[in-house]
């Protein structure tokens, strides 16, 4: 019995070792890959071998990235994501992200690329690699028409709403530490809180506050059009992923030469911002 039991244990151990060796032979993007979620940083060759690029996008931030009534992703960032997939020759898998998760999703390789209205800052550039910019942005603030705030210096007891992980949060912390921030993890939660508090101020990218105010001009107004220094929005990849960074940068310049981003603006943003904002907001990489 002892010899038989020893033999069974040895056989089980051998099977386990064999399975481990087989798993170790799988590449980061080969047929055995589970995509970016397998925890490895993937090169362009890995992604093409897998036939799929995994892109982190917003799912609730119309008109940049959102899910429509048919369950399909739509928006300005989504247009770029789909074009990247088509030109790389792979399918696109969208992963919904919140603002606070964008860096983490790249660091942990949950996604290959972030296209989620991602403002370039020096602090973020230490954690991820930004590609060529495709949009201009600044901070702004929207108020209810019944209680318009035109300067942060005028804030007293009002609720100042921000979304965690955004440049609005960083700006207030650095420049107005005495203002108490009401932080929310999602755009939807921030929107609800703002709508329900007639005295509240919502600080966010000016593109977003303009869009929000334009959706209901009878109720809301952009009291502060610009705060701090103007910034840009760009795709981002995991730090050190030179293969994907180079490919995306080349792609951005190629698309810029085709005026792709003006076309994407007119398809997805024109109804929200109008023609007057087009040349102010749009960046054609390599052309500006």
Distance CA 21, CA 24 (A): 5
CA distance 120 to 95: 21
Look at residues 199, 63, 72, 68 and name the one whose alpha carbon lies nearest to residue 144: 199
Using CA atoms, how far apart are residues 274 and 214, in angstroms rounded to an integer? Answer: 10
What CA–CA distances, in Å, run from 89 to 14, 44, 50, 52, 195?
Answer: 41, 11, 11, 9, 43
pLDDT confidence of residue 46? 97
Residue 209: is its pLDDT beyond 90?
no
Strands (E), the chain: 52-57, 60-61, 65-67, 73-74, 91-96, 113-114, 128-130, 135-144, 160-163, 181-184, 201-205, 220-233, 236-238
Strands 128-130, 236-238: pairing is: antiparallel
Which pLDDT belongs to residue 222? 93
**pLDDT at 33 exceeding the cut of 80:** no
Dist. CA 25–CA 14, nearest whole Å: 17
pLDDT band of 4, cuts 50, 70, 90: very low
For residue 36, the model assigns a pLDDT of 62
Please report which confidence band the pLDDT of residue 38 belongs to, taking 50, 70 and 90 as the band edges: low
Would you state the pLDDT for residue 207? 85
pLDDT at site 11: 40
Is the pLDDT score of 15 beyond 90? no
pLDDT at 212 (0 to 100) = 85
Judge whether residue 208 has pLDDT over 50. Answer: yes
Which residue has better confidence, 243 or 274?
Answer: 243
Beta strand pairing call for 236-238 and 181-184: unpaired
């Amino acid at each position: 019995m002892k010899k038989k039991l020893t033999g069974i244990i040895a056989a089980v151990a051998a099977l386990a070792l064999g399975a481990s060796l087989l798993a170790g032979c799988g590449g980061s993007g080969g047929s055995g890959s589970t995509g970016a979620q397998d925890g490895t940083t993937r090169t362009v060759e890995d992604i093409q071998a897998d036939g799929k690029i995994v892109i982190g996008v917003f799912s609730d931030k119309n008109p940049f990235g959102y899910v429509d009534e048919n369950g399909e992703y739509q928006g300005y960032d989504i247009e770029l994501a789909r074009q990247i997939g088509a030109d790389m020759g792979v399918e696109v898998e969208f992963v919904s992200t919140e603002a606070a998760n964008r860096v983490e999703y790249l660091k942990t390789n949950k996604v290959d690329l972030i296209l989620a209205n991602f403002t370039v800052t020096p602090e973020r550039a230490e954690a991820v690699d930004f590609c060529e910019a495709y949009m201009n942005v600044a901070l702004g603030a929207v108020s209810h028409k019944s209680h318009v705030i035109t300067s942060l210096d005028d804030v007293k007891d009002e609720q100042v709403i921000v979304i965690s992980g955004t440049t609005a949060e960083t700006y207030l912390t650095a420049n107005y530490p005495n203002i108490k921030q009401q932080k929310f993890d999602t755009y939807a939660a921030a929107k609800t809180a703002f709508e329900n508090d007639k005295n509240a101020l919502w600080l966010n990218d000016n593109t977003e506050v303009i869009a929000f105010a334009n959706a209901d001009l009878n109720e809301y107004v952009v009291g502060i059009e610009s705060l701090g220094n103007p910034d840009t929005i760009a795709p981002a990849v995991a730090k050190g992923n030179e293969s994907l960074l180079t490919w995306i940068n080349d792609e951005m310049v190629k698309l810029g030469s085709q005026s792709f981003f003006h076309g994407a603006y007119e398809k997805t943003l024109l109804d929200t911002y109008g023609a007057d904002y087009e040349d102010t907001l749009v960046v054609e990489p390599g052309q500006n």
